[in-house]
């Protein structure tokens, strides 16, 4: 029984970046449910307090011009922003995994079509296309709809990188042995290729989430995000809309920026830790 703490400490020593990044992201994810136990989230509504109040004991992060308490807004908005990134990243990576494995393993005309589509769409300015799509949506944009919009352009890069990895694996001896053993293409992909690429796929998912969050914040900063649900990007948008920087209302825009920085720091550390696990050269250095 005493060996388990030793193994846990050894894991932390071998992968400190991964553990630190996961800890940061876990705190940001649970900040909403936990914070809601200590703060009245109803104060995140318009007119719940006097407008433009600086931080105080009553309002630790102050209030905005709408009279909203910014602390519960931060508690509610942080998980929402991460939720959009996770949903968009999962959808984009899921499509990228399917297309990447099919293109890399099948080859031929199927590979040419999938690779060509990904290469062409990668040349299109992503934010511009997302702006056009977001503007074209009728009605109120929800968090889930925002995730779907962002995921539309989240599959091309995973498709290219996963395809490249599959191209290197399909000529390995274990794949040839599987073919000689009577395995079909789909079975080889599921049973042989996917397990060998799990650390790389996990790292790709983290990268997809980071890209999705960045695209989401970009759209929301332009006012194209969920109008009725608090997110970090929409908080920044309203701060810009009411010139909070020029008016010296630093408590309106600084906290969401700090949370965004922490989010990307956590994602970067997790990605670096997973890369350390997946890359044999980096493993030898630890």
Q: Residue 1's pLDDT is what?
A: 44
Going by the DSSP 8-state scheme, the letter that residue 54 receives in this structure is P
**d(C-alpha 196, C-alpha 218), whole Å:** 35
Q: Residue 3's pLDDT is what?
A: 47
Going by the DSSP 8-state scheme, the letter that residue 192 receives in this structure is I
- List Cα–Cα distances, 159 to 114, 120, 125, 256, 271, in angstroms: 8, 13, 18, 32, 18
Q: Residue 8's pLDDT is what?
A: 47
Mean pLDDT by 10 residues, the chain (286 residues): 49 76 92 87 89 93 93 92 92 93 90 91 81 77 86 89 89 84 83 86 90 90 84 92 93 94 94 76 52
Q: Residue 7's pLDDT is what?
A: 47
Please compute, for residue 10, the number of CA atoms within 13 A of its CA located in the half-sphere on the CB side.
Answer: 5
**Where along the chain do its domains lie?**
16-284
CATH T-level fold of 16-284: MetI-like fold (1.10.3720)
Question: Helices (DSSP H) in the chain: which residue ranges?
Answer: 3-14, 16-35, 70-106, 108-122, 126-136, 143-151, 156-169, 173-180, 185-188, 194-196, 198-221, 232-241, 250-278, 280-284
Q: Residue 272's pLDDT is what?
A: 86
Q: Residue 197's pLDDT is what?
A: 87
Q: Residue 185's pLDDT is what?
A: 77
Q: Residue 256's pLDDT is what?
A: 94
Q: Residue 2's pLDDT is what?
A: 44
Question: Helices (DSSP H) in 46-107: which residue ranges?
Answer: 70-106
What global pTM score does this model have? 0.85
């Amino acid at each position: 029984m005493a060996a388990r703490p030793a193994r846990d400490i050894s894991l932390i020593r071998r992968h400190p970046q991964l553990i630190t990044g996961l800890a940061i992201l876990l705190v940001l994810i649970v900040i909403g449910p936990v914070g809601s136990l200590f703060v009245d989230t109803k104060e995140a509504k318009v007119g719940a307090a006097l407008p433009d109040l600086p931080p105080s004991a009553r309002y630790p992060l102050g209030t905005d011009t709408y009279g909203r308490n910014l602390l519960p807004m931060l508690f509610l908005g942080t998980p929402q922003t991460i939720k959009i990134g996770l949903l968009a990243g999962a959808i984009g990576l899921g499509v990228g995994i399917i297309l990447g494995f099919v293109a890399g393993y099948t080859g031929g005309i199927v590979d040419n079509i999938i690779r060509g589509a990904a290469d062409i769409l990668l040349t299109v300015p992503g934010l511009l296309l997302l702006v056009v799509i977001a503007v074209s949506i009728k009605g109120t944009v929800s968090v889930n709809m925002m995730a779907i919009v962002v995921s539309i352009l989240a599959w091309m890069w995973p498709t290219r990188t996963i395809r490249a990895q599959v191209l290197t694996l399909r000529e390995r001896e274990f794949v040839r042995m599987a073919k000689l053993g009577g395995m079909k293409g789909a079975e080889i992909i599921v049973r042989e290729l996917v397990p060998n690429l799990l650390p790389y796929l996990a790292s790709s998912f983290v990268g997809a989430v980071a890209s999705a969050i960045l695209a989401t914040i970009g759209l929301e900063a332009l006012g194209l995000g969920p109008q009725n649900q608090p997110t970090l990007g929409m908080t920044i948008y309203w701060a810009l809309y009411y010139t909070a920087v020029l008016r010296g209302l630093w408590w309106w825009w600084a906290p969401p920026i700090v949370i965004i920085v922490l989010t990307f720091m956590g994602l970067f550390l997790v990605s670096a830790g997973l890369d350390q696990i997946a890359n044999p050269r980096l493993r030898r250095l630890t």
